[in-house]
Amino acid sequence: MGKIIAFANQKGGIGKTTSAINVAACIAECGKKVLVVDCDPQGNCTSGFGINKKSLRFTSYDLLVGRVGAQDAMIRTEFEGISVIPANISLAGAEFELVELDNRAYRLKNELDKVKDEFDYIVIDCPPSLGILTINALGASDGVVIPMQCEYFALEGLSQLMMTIRKTKELYNANLEIAGILITMYNGRLNLSTQVLKELKKYYADKILSEPIPRSVRISEAPSHGLPINYYDKNGKSAKAYLAVAKELMTRI
């Protein structure tokens, strides 16, 4: 039975979607079968795998509101072992429509349970918010990865996210665990980065994934080509860092 990992942080611009794309691709590189679920209305995870958001027949929106099942919504990508349930701006409407539906916090879980056995891992990219889409993702997941930058505002946001995770665990998913805190856009030469990482280790030492993701122009370039970093710059530092993270997550979950 496949394990489900959500990438979540209510703060935008911290490498959440980039990490979901690249960890999924690196897990697949290890010979695993991976399904990526884009639950962000921006659809950046979708385009990051080279999928045209304007020509989608079905999306995660259709899945959540019950129009189609997971099998109908998923697209097999050109990348070995990776399928994607895509998203586009239509997903923004789900926030309002789900309020009126039964089992609104379990819509995603109920659909993914039907295909869970077909994959080794399912990776969910959450929107940068703590609304019903994120609750659905956390409610369906075995573990949550929290990508974050080494800055003080990120520390403040982390405590809020931890409260949401605890509440979700209490109300919707008793099996949910924090799989890891992933440090992104890391520059060890900056005093601020080292200070924030030191502060993080005081409270979450056992949760921090051992390989930080370095700040890199190549990581920023890869999505514009519709390629994960291990296809765009396979031998670069960032690709090696994401591969190390993927391997560590597979031992944790």
How far, in whole angstroms, is CA 81 from its chain's centroid? 17
Tens of pLDDT, residue by residue over 72-128, are 999 999 999 999 999 999 999 887 888 777 888 999 999 999 999 999 999 999 999
Instruction: Report which DSSP code applies to 225.
Output: G
The structure tokens 């072992």 sit at 81
CATH class of 3-252: alpha beta
Burial (0-12, 13-18, 19+ Cβ within 10 Å), 253:
middle
Q: How far apart are CA 128 and CA 28, in angstroms?
A: 25
In angstroms, the Cα distances linking 3 to 94, 96, 189, 233 are 25, 29, 36, 27
What b-and-e string marks burial along 143-177, b requiring 16 or more CB atoms within 10 Å of the CB?
bbbbbbbbbeebeebbeebbebbeebbeebbeebe
Enclosing H/E stretch for 29:
helix 16-29
Cβ-defined contacts of 200-208 (< 8 Å, 24+): 200/150, 200/155, 200/158, 207/178, 207/180, 207/181, 208/180, 208/181, 208/183
Q: What is the value of pTM for the model shown?
A: 0.95
Instruction: Report which DSSP code applies to 215.
Output: P
| The pLDDT of residue 195 | 82
Boundaries of every domain in the chain: 3-252
Q: Do you know the residue count of the chain?
A: 253
Q: How far apart are CA 212 and CA 88, in angstroms?
A: 30
Tens of pLDDT, residue by residue over 200-233, are 888 888 999 999 999 999 999 999 999 999 999 9
